Amino acid sequence: MRIVTLLLALIAPTAFAQSAVPPPGPDGAPAGGPFTLDSVTGQVSLEQFRGQLVLLNFGYTSCPDICPLTLASTSQVLDALDEDQLSRIVGLFVTLDPERDTAARLADYVDHFHPRLIGLTGSEAEIDGVVASYGVRYYRVELPDSPLGYAVNHSAASYLIDADGELRFLFPHATPPGTIAEAVRYLLESDTTGN
């Protein structure tokens, strides 16, 4: 049975974090699910990481604050793991701005945070399919007086997917990296596949 832990007590006092993740699943939690998107080296599917954990985040490279903080936190989580543990987890960063975020731009962006991170993009329809599965909210905000032209307001959470591809933990924005690292270790120790 899928276990999803909602760490609601740790929600950061920001508008985006408090708008949080809507619960589309019957048990009050996002259902998650498989997807295939594009990276700088070709197509990447969640299925190809069976036997490993996946720490999944959504955002965009022009994000001024939440996304850099989230990826810095993810980097701290990964750095807290030993070499064996680190070999059994990958971080995926899915863009919510496919118009600007090419696979190459995403690869360059995530590389600044950690080598175990992969940036993913796709068509708007492909992104929306993944977003719907994971309960992410986002919308475009026009900025006529900014050189960026627009921003993307979005909910902020990190999703920890187990070695069987099941969503197991959802962490609100600003969850301490140590808390996420403990959940990672718990799942790695619980993994009976021997991977």
Q: What is the pLDDT of residue 27?
A: 54
Bridging pattern class, strands 167-172 and 5-6: parallel
Mean pLDDT of the chain: 86
CATH number of 5-175: 3.40.30.10
Mean local confidence (pLDDT), 83-100? 97
- Which residue in the block uniquely carries the two structure tokens 């197509």? 43
Q: What is the pLDDT of residue 28?
A: 59
The SS3 of residue 101 is: coil
Percent over 70 (pLDDT), the chain: 83
Q: Which amino acid, 119?
A: G
List Cα–Cα distances, 143 to 105, 140, 147, 192, in angstroms. Answer: 22, 10, 8, 50
Which of 60, 92, 69, 75 lies closest to 17 in space, CA to CA?
69
pLDDT in tens, 164-185: 999 999 999 999 999 999 999 9
Backbone Cα Rg of the chain: 16
Q: Which amino acid, 25?
A: G
SS3 of 178-191: the string is HHHHHHHHHHHHHC
Question: Rounded CA gap, 191 and 177, in Å?
Answer: 21
Of 28-32, 81-85, 182-186, where does mean pLDDT reach its minimum?
Answer: 28-32
